[in-house]
């Protein structure tokens, strides 16, 4: 009610101390209120769509809840987690997901770095290279996945025909190889663009100085470019790793998760829509969430990845 | 020095490298396009260029609601979600970039968490919630999660853009007696427009691409989006795989992307890198 209780002794001093411990000026309070007001709608939507459902998933995961048996809903504690963690399907899906993530992110990083160098150094045609590279990034994953599927179908696909009419999608490891290939094709441009931004931060003078001192191209890359790009690389790898850990679209179209190619996301989806089991499905959801949290934690604490955007707060 | 003048051998080398990159990027897309022009018999021939050409696949998909309706859904849901996400994200990003207020760190942390969030973790609980409150298989049932996942992208990209704006103009407006809100609407918003267009493109591409929510929260043509509809295409008989029509539909939903990329590639690149790598 009493808006003038600050009793600022001498307006000038409060102006100087603005933002410190001094009582808030009228302007600072208005700024605060406006800040909260502007953020409120975004915060409400984000909480409503993520925090609330996750909380609800925790609750569902503690219940026996099958949509086919709506009257048999019962609180069963951690039994769903026990069921998931003792199932070979979960561990196989986790292993497949980790394999796909590690292989595809590693190869994408190397190819992305090469592509970034090409885009950075090329003498001409930079625009057309960039335009072409943006197409895999932008294309609907599902559309591209159908292209790969047909290309590897014996009797109608050009890739299958090139490899003696092979049918890689029917074999676990070959199918994983095709999935990884589709992931790499789709995500290398994104990786390259992030790395290109990091590459442009490496000062040209430093490269020239090293060249004068007789450093070879490889030495310059390892000793100068890589260390300076470390933050950009770590952020890009963190994002790509988390993204490929939730891989769904490519597998869904290419194999449907058959022949031992189901990722954890496919497993969660099938549990909901084929087994109609909300309890088990929710337990899988929470376990995936925990895996993602662990990956992010390891990157941020272990590798010292600056969490993207943390600099924003320092302004 | 020799390094300054470019030899023709170097030029040739770069030209070859560039050609390889372009070919690798385009061949899978051209393969889809080729499939979409193949007649049903030509589809059983693995050659890259169709032996017999036809528009039949396109006329088939464009004459049924099986594809037209999902296309309309995709455009409508994408545009509405993009509009809402960009408006909300601009407000929040302005506050993040310009104002001092407690809780800013929490907002940024929350946006970061959501950007990394495994979408599948939401599918089971959201499916249950949407069925309970009647949002399942409706446009808002997809728009709401799309807005939520578009917001972190929007907040990062926009706050990076907003920090580049000459804010002295805002002060000048305030000296002239404008309230902070007026300063935002009349002075800053027009300057921020390029960043907002970029953000809108990125959010729209996300909505256009999204598949997991689209197949999980829809069950009929009333709200199924174009990518989800591909998985439900049926052939001329129960036993034929509708390869040609699916390829044609895949090409149709790829065309907007190609147009976006051709027209806005600078903006897309600026937007992608602004949010992720700064400082």
State the DSSP string of A97-161.
HHHHHHHHHHHHHHHHHHHHHHHHH-SS-HHHHHHHHHHHHHS-HHHHHHHHHHHTSTTT-HHHH
CA distances to A166, B16, B29, B237 from A148, in Å: 14, 25, 10, 24
Chain B CB contacts of A57 under 8 Å are: 121-122, 124-125
CA A53 from chain centre, in angstroms, equals 20
pLDDT, mean of residues A256-275: 90
Calpha distance B183→B171 (Å, rounded): 8
Chain B interface, best mutation among A25, A30, A41, A49, by max B CB count within 10 A = A49
Q: Which residue has the higher pLDDT, B146 or A127?
A: B146
Cβ within 8 Å, pair B227-A143: yes
Ranges in chain B annotated CATH 1.10.3720.10: 64-276
Look at residue A56 and tell me whether its pLDDT is greater than 80: yes
CB-count burial class (<10 Å; 0-12, 13-18, 19+) for B162: buried
Residue-wise over B181-197: b if at least 16 C-beta within 10 A, else e? Answer: eebbeebbeebbeebbe
Calpha distance A311→A314 (Å, rounded): 5
A31, part of any domain: no
Tens-place pLDDT, residues A104-123: 999 999 999 999 988 888 77
Calpha distance B210→B156 (Å, rounded): 20
Cβ within 8 Å, pair A272-B124: yes
pLDDT band at B144 (very low <50, low <70, confident <90, very high): very high
Tens-place pLDDT, residues A229-244: 888 888 889 889 988 9
Contact pairs from chain A to chain B, CB under 8 Å: 329
pLDDT band at B108 (very low <50, low <70, confident <90, very high): confident
A228, part of any domain: yes
Find the CATH number of the domain harbouring A294: 1.10.3720.10
Kindly state the DSSP code that residue B138 receives in the 8-state scheme.
S
Chain B CB contacts of A313 under 8 Å are: 96, 104-105, 108
A246, part of any domain: yes
Cβ within 8 Å, pair A53-B112: no
Calpha distance B240→B203 (Å, rounded): 36
Chain B CB contacts of A84 under 8 Å are: none
For A277, list phi and psi in degrees, rounded to 5.
Answer: -105, 100
Look at residue A314 and tell me whether its pLDDT is greater than 60: no
Nearest Cα to Cα of residue B250 among B204, B206, B208: B208
Cβ within 8 Å, pair A124-B14: yes
A202, part of any domain: yes
Q: Are B274 and B194 in contact (CB under 8 A)?
A: no
Torsion, Cα A146 B118 A186 A159, to 10 degrees, reads -40
A218, part of any domain: yes
Cβ within 8 Å, pair A123-B10: yes
Look at residue B239 and tell me whether its pLDDT is greater than 80: no
Q: Is the ipTM of this complex over 0.85?
A: yes
Nearest chain A residue to B253 by CA distance is: A140
Task: Work out the minimum CA distance from A218 to partner chain B, whole angstroms.
Answer: 17
Nearest Cα to Cα of residue A120 among A28, A10, A23, A197: A197
Cβ within 8 Å, pair B123-A157: no
A216, part of any domain: yes
CATH of the domain spanning B64-276, picked from 1.10.3720.10, 3.40.50.10860, 3.40.50.300, 3.40.50.920: 1.10.3720.10
In this predicted structure, what is the pLDDT of residue A315?
Answer: 34
Nearest chain A residue to B141 by CA distance is: A49
User: Whole domain around residue A144: which residue ranges?
Assistant: 88-314
Contacts of A148 (CB under 8 A, 6+ apart): A178, A181, A182, A250, A254, B28
Calpha distance A173→A253 (Å, rounded): 17
Cβ within 8 Å, pair A36-B212: no
Count of domains forming chain A: 1
CB-count burial class (<10 Å; 0-12, 13-18, 19+) for A259: middle
Three-state DSSP class for A58? Answer: helix
Nearest Cα to Cα of residue A279 among A57, A55, A69, A90: A57
Nearest chain A residue to B250 by CA distance is: A143
A1, part of any domain: no
A196, part of any domain: yes
Task: Work out the minimum CA distance from A17 to partner chain B, whole angstroms.
Answer: 14
Chain B CB contacts of A163 under 8 Å are: none
Look at residue A96 and tell me whether its pLDDT is greater than 80: yes
Nearest Cα to Cα of residue A264 among B212, B55, B223, B23: B212
Torsion, Cα B40 B46 B49 B52, to 10 degrees, reads -30
Chain A interface, best mutation among B96, B146, B277, by max A CB count within 10 A = B277
Task: Work out the minimum CA distance from A155 to partner chain B, whole angstroms.
Answer: 6
């Amino acid at each position: 009610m009493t808006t003038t209780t600050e009793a600022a002794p001498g307006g000038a001093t409060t102006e100087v101390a603005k933002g410190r411990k001094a009582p808030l000026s009228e302007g600072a309070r208005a700024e605060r209120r406006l800040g909260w007001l502007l953020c409120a709608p975004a915060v409400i939507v984000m909480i409503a769509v993520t925090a609330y459902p996750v909380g609800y998933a925790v609750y569902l995961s503690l219940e026996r809840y099958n949509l086919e048996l709506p009257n048999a809903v019962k609180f069963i504690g951690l039994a769903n987690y026990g069921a998931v963690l003792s199932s070979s399907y979960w561990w196989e899906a986790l292993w497949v997901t980790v394999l796909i993530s590690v292989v595809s992110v590693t190869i994408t990083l190397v190819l992305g770095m090469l592509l970034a160098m090409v885009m950075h150094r090329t003498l001409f045609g930079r625009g057309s290279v960039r335009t072409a590279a943006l197409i895999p990034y932008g294309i609907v994953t599902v559309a591209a996945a159908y292209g790969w599927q047909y290309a590897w179908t014996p009797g109608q696909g050009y890739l299958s025909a090139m490899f003696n009419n092979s049918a890689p999608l029917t074999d676990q490891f070959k199918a994983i190889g095709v999935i990884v290939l589709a992931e790499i094709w789709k995500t290398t441009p994104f990786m390259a663009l992030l790395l290109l931004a990091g590459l442009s931060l490496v000062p040209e003078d430093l490269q020239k100085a090293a060249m004068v001192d007789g450093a070879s191209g490889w030495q310059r890359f390892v000793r100068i470019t890589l260390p300076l790009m470390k933050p950009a690389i770590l952020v890009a790898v963190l994002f790509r790793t988390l993204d490929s850990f939730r891989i769904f679209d490519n597998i869904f179209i290419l194999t449907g998760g058959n022949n031992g190619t189901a990722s954890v996301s496919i497993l969660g989806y099938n549990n909901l829509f084929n087994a109609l089991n909300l309890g088990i499905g929710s337990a899988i959801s929470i376990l995936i969430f925990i895996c993602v949290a662990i990956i992010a934690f390891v990157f941020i604490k272990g590798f010292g990845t600056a969490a993207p955007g943390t600099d924003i707060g320092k302004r | 020095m020799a390094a300054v003048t470019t030899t023709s051998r170097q030029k040739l080398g770069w030209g070859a490298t560039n050609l390889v990159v372009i070919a690798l990027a385009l061949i899978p897309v051209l393969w889809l396009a080729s499939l979409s022009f193949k007649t049903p018999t030509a589809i059983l021939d693995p050659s890259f260029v169709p032996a017999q050409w036809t528009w039949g696949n396109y006329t088939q998909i464009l004459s049924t609601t099986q594809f037209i309706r999902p296309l309309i859904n995709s455009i409508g849901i994408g545009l509405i979600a993009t509009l809402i996400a960009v408006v909300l994200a601009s407000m929040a990003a302005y506050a993040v970039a310009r104002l001092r207020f407690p809780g800013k760190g929490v907002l940024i942390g929350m946006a970061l968490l959501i950007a990394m969030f495994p979408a599948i973790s939401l599918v089971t609980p959201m499916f249950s919630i949407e069925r309970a409150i009647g949002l399942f298989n409706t446009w808002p049932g997809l728009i709401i999660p799309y807005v939520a996942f578009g917001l972190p992208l929007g907040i990062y990209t926009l706050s990076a853009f907003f920090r580049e704006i000459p804010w002295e103009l805002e002060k000048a407006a305030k000296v002239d007696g404008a309230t902070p809100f007026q300063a935002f609407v009349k002075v800053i918003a027009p300057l921020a427009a390029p960043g907002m267009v970029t953000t809108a493109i990125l959010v729209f591409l996300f909505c256009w691409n999204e598949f997991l929510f689209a197949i999980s929260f829809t069950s009929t043509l009333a709200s199924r989006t174009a990518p989800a509809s591909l998985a439900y295409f049926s052939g001329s008989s129960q036993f034929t795989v509708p390869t040609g029509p699916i390829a044609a539909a895949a090409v149709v939903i790829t065309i907007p992307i190609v147009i976006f990329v051709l027209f806005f590639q600078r903006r897309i690149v600026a937007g992608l890198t602004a949010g992720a790598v700064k400082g």
